[in-house]
């Protein structure tokens, strides 16, 4: 039996996630921007919180933790490299470690770039990856603390996951990301179709995350830095994909 999950909107444009193992009753929250919506979702589902998985230290991913733990005590898991600036952890993990949620093992992946010490959690049996502010729907996080080559390496790790992996990212930025993507990849038919679907979903107030990795590989410019068509559109034919990625990220930062 695979994990069940729920997307939990928080703050103005953040997402947390609940992950539930029906076999054991174990339930994890992935990131805690604020406690209220997570507690409401737990109550509605009838789930008991057992774990909290933190991806990185930014306030809009951890600030609700103390209130959540006061109402629903749980084991807190986060990156060893980020331990000095995360809330107190019960389990500090590194790339290659496994985190059990009930009977299913999640793989820890170092996706530094947005921050140094950012991690993602991949549950291969359930085809779920919680990527927060590394790989995002039609985008990626700004490179605040790491380097461009480091971020490209991190995205390349995620791009190598099975294409049917569901990508659970941390923000509702997809409409803005789509506008930028179209500005550098206007002839991409799948991107055009996806951008239209994103606009329709947002017009109805619906989330545009999670997404599927196959869709990101076809439409997300930050994963396509090695694609000859996109390189040509940028005037960078034959360039190192890491350099192309840096150009795309810099253009997005100015967009």
Catalytic residue among 20, 21, 51, 61: 61
Ligand-binding annotation for 133, yes or no, is yes
Active site includes 133? yes
Ligand-binding annotation for 57, yes or no, is no
Catalytic residue among 20, 57, 114, 122: 114
Active site includes 57? no
Active site includes 61? yes
Ligand-binding annotation for 97, yes or no, is no
What is the 3 state secondary structure string of the chain?
Answer: CCCEEEEEEECCCEEEEEEECCCCCCEEEECCCCHHHHHHHHHHHCCCCCEEECCCCCHHHHCCHHHHHHHCCCEEEEEHHHCCCCCCCCEEECCCCEEEECCEEEEEEECCCCCCCCEEEEECCCCEEEEECCEECCEECCCCCCCHHHHHHHHHHHHCCCCCCEEEECECCHHHHHHHHHHHCCCCHHHHHHHHHHHHHHHCCCCCCCEEHHHHHHHCHHHCCCCHHHHHHCCCCCCCHHHHHHHHHHHHHHC
Catalytic residue among 60, 82, 110, 185: 60
Active site includes 60? yes
Active site includes 58? yes
Catalytic residue among 58, 118, 122, 185: 58
First to last CA, the chain: 44
Ligand-binding annotation for 20, yes or no, is no
Ligand-binding annotation for 60, yes or no, is yes
Catalytic residue among 20, 21, 31, 56: 56
Ligand-binding annotation for 114, yes or no, is yes
* Positions at the binding site for Zn(2+): 56, 58, 60-61, 114, 133, 171
Catalytic residues: 56, 58, 60-61, 114, 133, 171
* Positions at the binding site: 56, 58, 60-61, 114, 133, 171
């Amino acid at each position: 039996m695979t994990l069940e999950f729920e997307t939990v909107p928080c703050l103005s444009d953040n997402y947390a996630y609940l992950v539930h193992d029906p076999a054991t009753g174990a339930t994890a929250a992935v990131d805690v921007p604020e406690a209220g919506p997570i507690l409401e979702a737990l109550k509605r589902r009838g789930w008991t919180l057992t774990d909290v998985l933190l991806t990185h230290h930014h306030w809009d991913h951890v600030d609700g933790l103390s209130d959540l733990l006061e109402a629903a005590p749980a084991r807190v898991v986060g990156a060893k490299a980020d331990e000095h600036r995360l809330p107190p952890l019960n389990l500090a993990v590194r790339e290659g470690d496994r985190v059990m949620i009930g009977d299913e093992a999640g793989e820890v992946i170092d996706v530094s770039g947005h921050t140094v010490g950012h991690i993602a959690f991949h549950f291969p049996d359930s085809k779920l990856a919680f990527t927060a502010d590394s790989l995002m729907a039609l985008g990626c996080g700004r490179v605040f603390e790491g380097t461009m080559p480091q971020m490209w390496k991190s995205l390349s790790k995620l791009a190598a996951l099975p294409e049917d992996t569901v990508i659970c990212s941390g923000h509702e930025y997809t409409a803005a990301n789509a506008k930028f993507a179209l500005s550098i990849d206007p002839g991409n038919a799948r991107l055009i179709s996806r951008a239209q679907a994103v606009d329709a979903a947002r017009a109805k107030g619906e989330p545009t995350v999670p997404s599927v990795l196959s869709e990101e590989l076809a439409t997300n410019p930050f994963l396509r830095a090695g694609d000859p068509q996109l390189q040509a559109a940028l005037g960078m034919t034959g360039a190192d994909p890491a350099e192309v990625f840096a150009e795309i990220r810099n253009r997005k930062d100015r967009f």
